[in-house]
Amino acid sequence: MSDNLKQKMLGALAWSTIDRFGQQVVQFVIGLFLARLLTPDDYGLIGMVMLFVALSNTLVDSGFVQALVRKQDVDDTDYNSVFYFNILIGIVLYIILFFSAPLIADFYNQPKLIDICRVVFIGIIFNALYLIPVAKMTKNIDFKNSAKINILSVTGSGFIGICLAFYGVGVWALVAQQVLFHFFRMVGLHAFVKWKPGRVFSFNVIRGLLGFSVNLLGTSILNMIFNYLYVIIIGKFYQKSQVGYYSQANKLNETTNYSFQTILVGSTYALLVKIQDDDERFRRVFREIAQKTSLVTFPVMLCLIAIAKPFISVLLTDKWLPSVPYFQLLCLATLLQPLYTLNSSALNARGQSKITFRVEFIKKALILTSVFVSFQYGIIAMLLGYVISCTIAYLISILYLKKDLNHFIKHQISDFVNSMIFGATLALLLWLIHFLISNKYILLSTQLLSGVIIYLLFIRFFYTNTFFSVRNQLLLSIKSFTNSKK
Q: d(Cα 398, Cα 409) in Å, to the nearest integer? A: 7
- Name 77's Cβ contacts closer than 8 Å, sequence gap at least 6: 200, 202, 205
**According to the model, what pLDDT value does residue 235 have?**
81
pLDDT band at residue 409 using 50, 70 and 90 as cut-offs: confident
CA–CA dist 121, 100 (Å, integer): 11
Q: Which of 16-20, 281-285, 413-417, 451-455 has the lowest mean pLDDT?
A: 16-20
Mean pLDDT, residues 143-163 taken together: 88
Q: 445 or 226, which is more confident?
A: 445
322 has a pLDDT exceeding 70: yes
Evaluate if residue 152 carries a pLDDT over 70.
yes
Name the 3-class secondary structure at 275: coil
For the chain, domain boundaries: 1-227, 229-486
Average of per-residue pLDDT across 203-215: 74
**pLDDT at site 408:** 72
Q: How does the average pLDDT of the chain come out, rounded? A: 83
Q: Are 174 and 46 in contact (CB under 8 A)?
A: yes
Band (207; pLDDT cuts 50, 70, 90): confident
Checking if the pLDDT of 87 tops 80, the result is yes
Question: What's the pLDDT score for residue 19?
Answer: 75
Give the Cα separation of 312 and 291 in Å (integer).
30
| Cα gap 106→123, rounded to integer Å | 23
Amino acid 212: pLDDT? 67
- CB-side exposure of 357: number of CA atoms within 13 Å? 16
Torsion angle defined by CA atoms of residues 449, 469, 293 and 303, in that order, rounded to the nearest 10 degrees: -10
Amino acid letter for position 182: H
Across the range 16-29, mean pLDDT stands at 77
